[in-house]
Amino acid sequence: MADWRADSLVEELLPEELDWQRWVRRYPLAMLSLAALGGYLLGRSRGPEIVEAVTTRAADTISENVHHLIDSRS
């Protein structure tokens, strides 16, 4: 499985010239509030799709791990 980091995703979504890490360091509570609001709005508009994607990913990961465990015992 690839190493996944949230900051890589944020850097892909935001304009390159925006130093979002500086904003987070300077205004942590405001940025946390903004992220929470964005998550809330995204969840309200795309909740079922998000749940389906997370569930599918979790099932795939579990299946992968079980197969790996079975293969290592044979």
pLDDT of residue 50: 87
Spell out the per-residue pLDDT of the chain, length 74, in tens.
445 677 787 788 888 898 988 999 999 999 999 999 998 998 899 889 988 998 999 999 999 999 988 888 76
| Residue 3 main-chain phi, psi, to 5 deg | -75, 120
Domain boundaries, the chain: 6-73
Q: What does the block give as tokens for 61?
A: 């990961």
pLDDT of residue 11: 82
pLDDT of residue 4: 61
pLDDT of residue 13: 82
Burial classification of residue 20, based on how many CB atoms lie within 10 Å of its CB (0-12 exposed, 13-18 middle, 19 or more buried): middle
pLDDT of residue 60: 92
